[in-house]
Amino acid sequence: MPNTSARLKNGRRARRRHREDPARNELVSSSLESAQQCLLNQDYGTAFVHYLLVLNLAPMFKDFARESFRFTLFKWTEELDSVGRIQDLFNCYEQALELFPADEVILNSMGEHLFRMGFRDEAAGHFHKALKLRPDYPEARENFYRVANWLVERWHFLMLNDHGRNRKYQQAIQKAVQSGCSTVLDIGTGTGILGMCAKKAGAAEVYACELSKTMYELACEVITANGMDGGIRVLHMKSLEMEVPKDIPHRVSLVVTETVDAGLFGEGIIESLIHAWHHLLLPPQRGENESQDPSATGRVIPAGATVFGMAVECLEIRRHHRLCLSDVGSLSMAAAGELRSPVSCSSEPDDSMEPYTTERLSRLPGGYKSLTEPFTALNIDFNNVQELEGLSSREVQRVRLPVTQGGALDALAVWFQLHLDEENSLSTGPQEDTCWEQAIYPVHSTKGFLLKPNDELIVEVSCRDAYLRLCSVAVLRDGRELCLNMCPDTTYAGNPGSNQNSEAELCSALACLQTDQSRIKDFCMLECSEMALLNNHDYHQSFCRALAKLISQLKVKYQNQVQGSHIRSESRDSCDPFYVLDVSEGFSLLSLIAAGQGNVKAYSSVEKNKQQEVLKRLARSNCIPEQHLEFWLNHVEDERGMLQRPSREKLWSAIILDCVETCGLIRQKLMEKATLARCLLEDGGRVFPEKIVVQGILVESDTLLLESAVQGQEPTLGFNIAPFINQFTVPVHVFLDFSTLECKHLSEFVELFVLDLMDATANYTDREVKVQATSAGRITAIPFWYHICLDQDISITTLSHNSHWKQAAVVLQEPLEVRAGDWVHLAVKLHKSTISISAHTENVPGPMEQ
Ligand code: 44T
């Protein structure tokens, strides 16, 4: 592809010469003509090259040709995408952006490609730029809101709003600097706050590094706005790549960092500090009693940490990590084999597994029960490099924990105390009033284990791959050691309330006969939300009923048709199956449930081999003929894909759409998919669900505000940070647990919007909803969720306690004061699949104003 872009840019003289150059003019006009002709012939690649040539040679055509150029670019890159020429695709975008650097449509579209390729940070940067160029550009807005959470994670707001944490860090830094630590490095500076504390405390030299591009740019902006750009040098790099004197002129006397996650080590603090001690810090203080010049020695804030653990029973954790039901919908799950969530700290090395997940225990729906007292799992001194280095070779430590309350062992919960210095420490414990979550190590044996009060739980603590690992290995009961990793035969206590099924027992007994090796490999992994979905009996039962109803209606219809019209050529053969398509994302049993209706051929969208095997196994064990289940994605390549029409004129009897994402938002492109699905239905066929009702409530919630933006007019520790980071505020909060949200309800539940998937004419894009306030307060947010109506009688709500869905909430730009009885007008808008809501009170004068 020609790269003529850099040549002869601008320059009046040069341009005049162009206009006067007849050969050049000739080339431009013939290329323009060729471009237009190629466009007509749908030869987008050649059209694109011609346009590049024209616009580079004759930039004055840019306005005239912009639309066609964009169109060509999009068409050509679509083609490149479909044949996997990704590098070429991005080259085209880069060339396009050289010509039109401020074109929000091109920026947004490139962002979409980047996003799909997994370059989220870069994608988000493009959406952000597009939105800055045109703040009312809805496509970029929608994309930006969807990715802003990755770009600037929401915990930045929480941490900046956590005044206790800010003050403690500031005090510790101030003390260290004033005691003589004059050169400081802030590792993982985020918004630059700790580096600015050091500078303000009087440090002579301050350096800061940040690996995220967005956060680095933000830190630079913040530091400049606070007049410290001359005093703090910010580097866009990972601390592990830093060298003296290349990146910083000499070793520093203080490293400050808060690169810790809920499990303490997940952000790589051990590795970063080992590297810092070897390459970036002055040597540590030697003996305790020797007083040395602090400017000649190195130290770290935080000085160390203590990690605590505790065993818990928690239904909410359980249903996200283990299959808890023996029957799902109409299917027996006994033959499913082992299903695992991707969270496990077992001894097998497996990159696809995370050792822990994170939750705020105090906010888990249904709460939790402590089964043991908290115990100290680990103590670590960040100022001792030998100790840091020895961590991964430390012997596995076995801890015996007396069980204090009986209950099902669902997980070990972990938190820590961060010792900033001798005086200041932060705790991330579940009882603390902090923004921190706890690390959750779910038990990974397939079934639960009921602990009894006199038991002792044996936990192994180790440190591998720079992660802390906690594993419940055994229970001491009546002098016997019951191994938790072994087959749960006689030791199985079941999930309270679930009835055991002898077939399931037989299956697990059989599984135990296999060798250890095969047992390790022979499991199927499901995402936590897929596991929770599988555990949602009501969801599957509702689909089962709705599908059965539809199939029996269709059967009656065809019987009548056959009786009424005798052998009409296009009429349905009584042994023709009904075709059902399940386009659910991820693992779904719905195709199997459909195939179980008899005379149904179901098409599943399940893509992963292991998951397909589970479905096939379940088909066999539930007496569903295997040929009644197809995996249509397996056939797309060989052109026998989903849209292959079955033999007669008949189309799909039912198409199942997956409408709501786990995070609580409507899936992107849902309405487009529904339109397509409707066209593919046979007469009398249905799209499931037929409609979605969005329901919401007015609330006053400070918690939601704290997670959405830096609050208040006061500067953060005296620094001006809020206006910069608040650019990344998004109006919709996702992954919310409405049932445990600390908030005051200011209205009843109200219907906000209806999306009709069966009847396009019934849809609208704007709606005005009137809601009466039931109490006085400040409306800060409107949480919302969905009633997914499969048909007129059967519906599922995403608010139910056993749902795998979380809720979302619109956070209002400005809180709205209301009195009890006031009418609030909500303007609810749906653009693509994004809901936005604005609220105002009715203009009725209050009693004082009358
Ligand atoms: N999350 C806490 C983690 N970095 C906190 O790019 C608590 C989560 C949390 N930069 C809910 C509540 C909470 N060199 O910007 C990040 C990251 C950067 C580095 C340069 C390195 N070696 C690193 C390592 C990380 O440091 C920043 C902070 S890290 C995590 C902080 C409120 N959910």
Report phi then psi at 697, rounded to 5: -155, 150
Does the N-terminal peptide bond of residue 365 adopt cis geometry, omega within 30 degrees of 0?
Answer: no
Q: Is 294 in the pocket of ligand 1 (CB under 6 A)?
A: no
- The rounded distance, in Å, linking the Cα atoms of 261 and 269 is 9
Strand partners, 816: 779
C-alpha to C-alpha distance for 199 and 173, rounded to whole angstroms: 10
Quote the ligand 1 centre to 257 CA distance (angstroms): 9
Q: How many CA atoms, within 13 angstroms, populate the side-chain half-sphere of residue 437?
A: 17
The answer to pTM > 0.75 is: yes
* Nearest CA owner, ligand 1 atom 18: 188
Contact 305, 412 (CB under 8 A): no
Q: Name the residue of 240, 259, 736 whose CB sits within 8 Å of the most ligand 1 atoms, as the mutation to test its pocket.
A: 259
Residue identified by tokens 């009715």 is 842
Confidence at residue 345, expressed as pLDDT on a 0 to 100 scale = 75
In whole numbers, what is the pLDDT of the chain averaged over residues?
88
Could you tell me which residue, 150 or 599, shows the higher pLDDT? 599
Confidence of residue 280 (pLDDT cuts 50, 70, 90): very high
**Ligand 1 centroid distance, CA of 358 (Å):** 14
9 band by pLDDT with thresholds 50, 70 and 90: very low
Q: How far is the CA of 258 from the centre of ligand 1 (A)?
A: 7
Band (pLDDT 50/70/90 cuts) for residue 17 is: low
Candidates 110, 138, 148, 136; CA nearest to 833 is: 138
Q: Helices in 448-600 by DSSP H: which ranges?
A: 502-513, 516-521, 528-534, 537-565, 590-595
Bond prior to 815 in cis (omega within 30° of 0): no
| Predicted pLDDT of residue 497 | 38
* pLDDT digit string, tens, across residues 26-39: 999 999 999 999 99
Structure tokens at 70: 């964009």
Hey, what domains does the chain have and what are their CATH numbers?
Answer: 22-151 (1.25.40.10), 180-301 (3.40.50.150), 305-377+389-526 (2.70.160.11), 536-656 (3.40.50), 692-841 (2.70.160.11)
Ligand 1 centroid to residue 190 C-alpha, Å: 7
Name residue 471's beta-bridge partners.
Answer: 460
What is the average pLDDT across 798-819?
96
- Across the strands, what pairs with 470? 461
What is the DSSP pairing of strand 254-257 with strand 183-187? parallel
- Exposed e or buried b per residue across 796-822, where buried means at least 16 C-beta atoms within 10 angstroms of its C-beta: bebbeebbbbbbbbbbbeebbebeeeb
**Alpha-carbon span 704 to 544, nearest angstrom:** 37
Backbone angles phi and psi of 730, in degrees to 5? -120, 145
Q: What is the pLDDT of residues 367-395, one digit of tens each?
A: 999 999 999 999 999 999 999 999 988 88
pLDDT at 281 over 70: yes
Torsion of CA 818, 819, 823, 826, to 10 degrees: 20
The CB of 160 under 6 Å from ligand 1? The reply is no
Judge if the upstream peptide bond of residue 689 is cis by omega within 30 degrees of 0: yes
The CB of 611 under 6 Å from ligand 1? The reply is no
Nearest CA to ligand 1 atom 14: 238
Q: Is the CB of 190 under 6 A from ligand 1?
A: yes
**Pocket lining: 435 vs ligand 1, CB cutoff 6 Å:** yes
DSSP letters, 449-484, are -EE-TT-EEEEEEEEETTEEEEEEEEEEETTEEEES
Residue 146: pLDDT band with limits 50, 70, 90: confident
Beta strands 681-688; 652-656: pairing state: parallel
Buried b (16+ CB within 10 A) or exposed e, 268-293: bbbbbbbbbbeebbbeebeeeeeeee
Among 159, 633, 238, 641, CA closest to 437: 159
As to burial, measured by CB atoms within 10 angstroms (0-12 exposed, 13-18 middle, 19+ buried), residue 374 is middle
Interval 675-693 mean pLDDT: 94
- 528-543 per-position pLDDT tens digit: 999 999 999 999 999 9
What is the distance in A from the centroid of ligand 1 to the CA of 777?
A: 35
Instruction: Give the closest residue to 595 by CA, choosing from 560, 554, 565, 630.
Output: 630
Centroid of ligand 1 to alpha carbon of 261 (angstroms): 7
Long-range contacts of 708-714 (CB under 8 A, 24+ apart): 708/154, 708/157, 708/733, 708/811, 709/157, 710/157, 710/160, 710/161, 711/161
For ligand 1, whether the C-beta of 436 sits within 6 Å is yes
Instruction: Answer yes or no: is the C-beta of 631 below 6 A from any ligand 1 atom.
Output: no
Return the ligand 1 atom nearest residue 212 CA: 6
Going from the Cα of 260 to the center of ligand 1, the distance in angstroms, rounded, reads 6
| Residue 219, C-beta contacts closer than 8 angstroms, at least 6 positions apart | 189, 190, 191, 192, 195, 208, 210, 234
Closest by CA to 701, choosing from 828, 800, 811, 805, is 811
User: Which residue's alpha carbon is nearest to atom 4 within ligand 1?
Assistant: 188
pLDDT at 349 over 60: no
- Residue with the smallest CA separation from ligand 1 atom 7 is 436
How many residues are listed for the chain in this entry?
A: 850
Question: Does the pLDDT at position 145 exceed 90?
Answer: no
Considering only CA atoms, which of 229, 225, 447, 408 is closest in space to residue 324?
A: 447
Give every CB contact of residue 62 below 8 A, 6+ residues apart in sequence.
Answer: 55, 99, 100
Mutation test of ligand 1: which of 215, 258, 267 has the most ligand atoms closer than 8 Å to its C-beta?
A: 267
pLDDT in tens, 42-59: 999 999 999 999 999 999
Supply the DSSP string of 664-710, one letter for each residue.
SSBPTTHHHHHHHHHHTEEEEEEEESSEEEEEE--EE-HHHHHHHS-
Does any ligand 1 atom lie closer than 6 A to the CB of residue 186? no
Question: Quick one: which of 155, 148, 239 has its CA closest to 189?
Answer: 239
* 750: its two tokens: 């109200």
What pLDDT is attached to residue 715? 84
Ligand 1, pocket-test mutation among 151, 155, 273, 438, most atoms within 8 A of CB:
155
Quick one: pLDDT at residue 571? 54
For the segment 421-456, what is each residue's pLDDT rounded down to a tens digit?
Answer: 999 999 999 999 888 999 999 987 656 789 999 999
Helix axes 22-40, 44-57, angle to 10 degrees: 150
Q: How many helices (H) and strands (E) does the chain have?
A: 24, 38
The better pLDDT of the pair 15, 420 is held by 420
| Ligand 1 contact, 209 CB (< 6 A) | yes
Q: How confident is the model at residue 496 (pLDDT cuts 50, 70, 90)?
A: very low
pLDDT digits (tens, 9 = 90+) for 172-189: 999 999 999 999 999 999
258 lines ligand 1 (CB under 6 A): yes
Give the number of C-alpha atoms closer than 13 A to the C-alpha of residue 834, restricted to the C-beta side: 15
Of 372, 363, 362, 357, the C-alpha closest to 321 is 357
Residue range 756-773, pLDDT digits in tens: 999 988 888 899 999 999
- The whole-angstrom separation of Cα 561 and Cα 617 is 37
Q: Are strands 600-604 and 578-582 parallel, antiparallel or unpaired?
A: parallel
Q: Which residue has the tokens 């400040």?
A: 778
Centre of ligand 1 to C-alpha 465, Å, is 18
